[in-house]
Amino acid sequence: MKVRYQADADLDRRIVSAVRRREPAIDFRFASEARSGRGLKGLRDDAVLAVAAEEGRILVTHDRRTMPEHFAAFIAAQESPGVLILPRRMSLHALVEWIITIWTASEAEEWRNHVLPLPR
């Protein structure tokens, strides 16, 4: 099965827009599109991880500070499609390339219970 992505509420919206423009076949939801349009804003990390898991989507976030710890606790109790942590200072072009490369070169099952913080 192909990788599907869920943007966290902290993710720069330009990233999702650029990925969708560049590769329309990628299933990448904005945070506001999650939970049948109610969105992710205001949810705690564990709730955000649960939403992404229910939908079978890799969570894409900028949250290096708290997400890794919450992810570790989450996967101790249940499975996760994975988390991709993007640096805020990487160029938009480079971030889009990473996301598209992951989608092109891997399957969703390869990311199960893994977190990948991209280098800064």
Residue recorded with tokens 């192909």: 2
User: What is the identity of the amino acid at 35?
Assistant: R
Residue 88 and residue 70 in contact, taking contact as beta carbons nearer than 8 Å = no
Give me the pLDDT at residue 37, please: 79
| pTM for this predicted structure | 0.96
Give me the pLDDT at residue 35, please: 85
CA distance 55 to 66: 22
The first and second tokens of residue 6, run together, are: 């869920």
Strand partners, 75: none
Residue recorded with tokens 């990473």: 98
Closest residue by Cα to residue 15 from 28, 33, 2, 32: 28
Ordered by start, the domain boundaries in the chain are: 5-117
Name the CATH topology of 5-117. Answer: Rossmann fold (3.40.50)
Give me the pLDDT at residue 120, please: 82
Mean pLDDT, each 10-residue run in order, the chain (120 residues)? 97 98 98 90 96 97 97 98 97 98 98 95
